[in-house]
Amino acid sequence: MSIKEKLIYRIFKKTNFFNNEKGFIFSIIIPIYNTEKYLAEAIDSVINQTFDFQKVQIILMDDGSSDSSSEICKEYCEKYPRNIEYFYQENQGVSVARNTSMKYAKGKWINFLDSDDKLESNALEEIFSNLLDFDEDIDVISMPRYQFDAVEGPMGLNHKFKKNRVVNIFEEYDFPRTPVNSSFLRREAAIKFKFKKGLFISEDSLFINKIILEKCKFGVVGTTRYLYRKRFEEESLINTKKFEKSYFNPRMEIYFKELIRYSMEKYGSVLKYIQSVLMYDLQWLFLENTQDGILDEREMKEYYKNIHDVIQHVDDEIILSQKLNKFQKYHILSFKNGKDSFDIEKWDKDLILYYGKKEFDKLSNHKIKITDLKKEGNSINLKCSFGFYPWDNFRITAYRNDEALDLNLFKEESTISTSQIIAKRYFYEMKFDLRDSENRIHFDMEIDSNKYPMKLNFPNHDENIILDKYTLVIYHNE
């Protein structure tokens, strides 16, 4: 044991850190359901930590597995009888498995490791070291998540872990903590709460954020990682549950509205931090349409009403701060406040879209993109696309010098969310013969609106293409 480890040991022992006869600092709870292929790797990632394994308890909770997971668990229990305990229950879901496991946890800090994931080898050492550095009274300390296996790389919000520190949610409210597997929870704080039975997605977010709201602070450690397995076979719980009815209206009530109620009861308002948590999960509901074909018409209306009710508790600034494109933010704000919350004004040679009194977007930001260009002899086949809001009152014309070209719309794609078209992309094709002299191509857009009749030119940058002896210039016509 190093000098630092001895110092840490004395300090924590003096402050009654070791609150059990075996001196466990960490209890790693691993709920298990049919993960024989990955289970040993998960358990070994805890055993082989740089941290002293004698101070670590592993609780293996088998949630009714039908594969060889139980045999694997029993082998580890026989090999490490002091540190590893095995329990079995009939299949009741991960929430019940976690709740039951907490009763057997003896460590000061609890972690819920998924049985197909891993901890980086220095995880416990880094968490333990920073617990001493964080003199703040925190009940949650988290580390960043990295994917491995089928996909490799950092997961969302990892940029927030650049500095080890204590986060005050009143000062840094745009840091939503939703995963419980990459966090360590003070046992005394965690056992006061339970994972919601019947909630198969977001149960960890509801659980951990209720704990965070007790002290409104949590620690972050970026010098280690939680390793999240992205499987090659798409059989994960999240992917399958998105196609069940429980993912929609029940989740809105049990998770989203419950978190709103809890914040309101505790602080008299929905804290901006909780708004960030809500919006982090809400945004996916605006990006996917998994409800189509699953919910009937009545359920669909209830679902959209639930989303509308929840998003009323999220400030516009929280919505605008999300890493979404303009189309998606336009749709979410329109869904929340109605399309009348946006105004359109003509300004010089442009069309400006305002939200409130602030410029939200302008038409000239949207470029015509050349997607394909083929030359056969002196003949050109050019394809292009243009993405736009779901407005149909415009027309694009192509010119070679001052000569109009036939521009044919051959495909139209719509981006749909919450059963509404939020954006459209139009695909055009034109064919023409090159001339020996310079071939200057530009596009005009005409807005067919009585209020804002105008003509714009696209794109707003030059693009020179040399084709043998011919020159093709795609340019902005002033």
214-257 pLDDT, tens digit per residue, is: 999 999 999 999 999 988 765 554 555 666 888 889 999 999 99
Q: What is the pLDDT of residues 288-298, one digit of tens each?
A: 777 777 888 99
β-strand pairing of 165-168 with 217-220: antiparallel
| 457 pLDDT tier (thresholds 50, 70, 90) | very low
- Tell me what pLDDT residue 464 has: 53
**Per-residue confidence (pLDDT) for residue 388, from 0 to 100:** 83
The pTM of this model reads 0.84
* Range from 6-10, 165-169, 433-437 carrying the lowest mean pLDDT: 6-10
Tokens found for residue 415: 């981006």
C-beta separation of 237 from 200 below 8 A: yes
| SS3 assignment, position 235 | coil
Q: What CA–CA distance (Å, rounded) separates 60 from 56?
A: 13
Task: Indicate the pairing of strand 439-447 with strand 394-400.
Answer: antiparallel
Tell me the sheet residues that pair with 343.
354
- Two structure tokens written together for 425: 């992309």
pLDDT of the residue at 477: 45
- Highest mean predicted confidence (pLDDT) among 104-113, 324-333, 346-355, 443-452: 104-113
Average pLDDT, the chain: 86
**Residue-level pLDDT at 374:** 86
pLDDT score for 4: 55
Pick the CATH number of 364-474 from 3.40.190.10, 2.60.40.3080, 2.60.40.10, 2.60.120.10: 2.60.40.10
64-96: b (≥16 Cβ within 10 Å) or e: bbeeebbebbeebeeeeeebbbbbeeeeebbbb
Q: Are 62 and 69 in contact (CB under 8 A)?
A: yes
Residue 215 in contact with residue 139, Cβ under 8 Å?
A: yes
Q: How far apart are the first and last CA of the chain?
A: 74
Please state the rounded mean pLDDT for residues 299-317.
95
Average pLDDT on 99-123 reads: 97
Query: Highest-confidence range of 112-116, 457-461, 467-471, by mean pLDDT?
Result: 112-116
Q: Using pLDDT thresholds of 50, 70 and 90, give the confidence band for residue 475.
A: low
Alpha-carbon distance values, 299 to 244, 248, 257, 287, 306 (Å): 13, 9, 17, 19, 10
> Which is more confidently placed, 199 or 279?
279
Higher pLDDT among residues 128 and 236, named by residue: 128
Classify 267 as helix, strand or coil: helix
Give the pLDDT of residue 469. 54
Q: How far apart are CA 356 and CA 341, in angstroms?
A: 7
* Residue type at 117 in one-letter notation: D
Compare 9 and 352 and report the one with higher pLDDT.
352
Q: pLDDT-derived band of residue 470, with 50, 70 and 90 as boundaries?
A: low
For the chain, what percent of residues have pLDDT higher than 70? 86
- Measured distance CA(169)–CA(189) in Å, rounded: 18
Q: Extract the tokens encoding 451.
A: 């209020």
Cβ contacts of residue 120 below 8 Å, gap of 6+? Answer: 45, 224, 225, 226, 227
Write the single-letter amino acid at 57.
Answer: Q
pLDDT, residue 334, reads 93
pLDDT greater at residue 323 or residue 110: 110
pLDDT score recorded for residue 294: 87
Q: Is 280 helix (H, G, I), strand (E, B) or coil?
A: helix
pLDDT of residue 15: 47
What is the pLDDT at residue 465? 55
Torsion angle of C-alpha atoms 117, 122, 127, 130, degrees rounded to 10 = -150
Mean pLDDT of 56-82: 97
Domains 3-234 and 364-474 share a fold: no
Neighbour tally for 59: CB within 10 Å: 26
Say if CB 198 and CB 244 are below 8 A apart. no
Query: What's the rounded Cα separation, in Å, for the pair 402 and 404?
Result: 6
Angle at 101 between CA 99 and CA 107, to 5 degrees: 115
Write down the architecture of domain 3-234 according to CATH: Alpha-Beta Complex (3.90)
Are 134 and 186 a contacting pair, CB within 8 Å? no
Is pLDDT at 134 greater than 70 in this prediction? yes
- Residue among 30, 123, 15, 13 nearest 83 (CA): 30
Query: Nearest-CA neighbor of 105 among 181, 211, 188, 214?
Result: 188
Sorted by where each begins, the domain ranges of the chain are 3-234, 245-323, 364-474
Dmax over Cα atoms in the chain, in whole Å?
Answer: 91
Q: Residues 397-438: pLDDT tens digits?
A: 888 888 889 999 999 998 888 888 888 999 999 998 887 777
pLDDT band at 21 (very low <50, low <70, confident <90, very high): low
Q: What does residue 16 show for φ and ψ, rounded to 5 degrees?
A: 60, 35
In the structure, what pLDDT confidence band is assigned to residue 478 with cuts at 50, 70 and 90? Answer: very low
Token digits of residue 5:
């480890």
Residue 462 scores a pLDDT above 80: no
Per-residue confidence band for 156, with pLDDT thresholds at 50, 70 and 90: confident
- Cβ–Cβ under 8 Å, residues 58 and 159: no
Which residue in this structure is represented by tokens 């879209």?
353
**Residue 10 predicted with pLDDT over 50:** no
Cα–Cα distance for residue pair 351/365, rounded to 1 Å: 10
Tell me, what's the pLDDT at 13? 47
Residue 1's pLDDT band, with cuts at 50, 70 and 90, is very low
Long-range CB contact pairs, 290-295, < 8 A, 24+: 290/242, 290/243, 290/247, 291/248, 292/419, 294/243, 294/244, 294/245, 294/248, 295/245, 295/248, 295/249
Percent of the chain with pLDDT over 90: 57
* Band of pLDDT at residue 198, cut at 50, 70 and 90: confident
Token reading at 347:
């300004």
